[in-house]
Amino acid sequence: MFVMKQIVGFSYGTKPSFKENAKHSHTEEPGFVLYYTSWCPCNAKYVPILIETAKENNIPFHAIHITSREEAQSAPTPITNYALFYNGDYVTNEQMNAKKFIKVGNAMVSISHD
């Protein structure tokens, strides 16, 4: 016999939808902002690399660790596992090593100065 269990935070008959903040991936923060969760084990490796690389290279960077469902639902992106923004605009959800982050950082800075 198939038994349906209620999913926490949802009720039957409610159509799933994104909140407005997730529909328009944008932040108001300057520089690089990374939203990430612990749901992906790779973040434990790559997030500290970005934090350290940003410090060493004077790259404006702020990491926001999402730890709850409420924080995930309030994030400015539907991709809460790993989402990188620059000067408010969504850049990527690709996890990066130091070399790649510097390359992306240089590209974003040069684009914003054009």
Domains of the chain, start order: 24-113 (3.40.30.120)
Residue 7 pLDDT more than 80?
no
Cα–Cα distance measured from residue 61 to residue 91, given in angstroms and rounded to the nearest whole number: 13
Which of 7-11, 16-20, 88-92, 105-109 has the least mean pLDDT? Answer: 7-11
Alpha helices, DSSP H, located in the chain? 20-23, 43-56, 69-74, 98-113
What is the predicted pLDDT for the residue at 41?
A: 92
Cα–Cα distance measured from residue 67 to residue 75, given in angstroms and rounded to the nearest whole number: 11
**What average pLDDT is seen over the chain?**
85
Taking a C-beta distance cutoff of 8 angstroms, is the pair 25, 92 a contact? no
Instruction: Encode pLDDT of 30-45 as tens digits.
Output: 999 999 999 999 999 9
Q: Model pTM greater than 0.85?
A: no
Residue 5 — very low, low, confident or very high, per pLDDT cuts 50/70/90? low
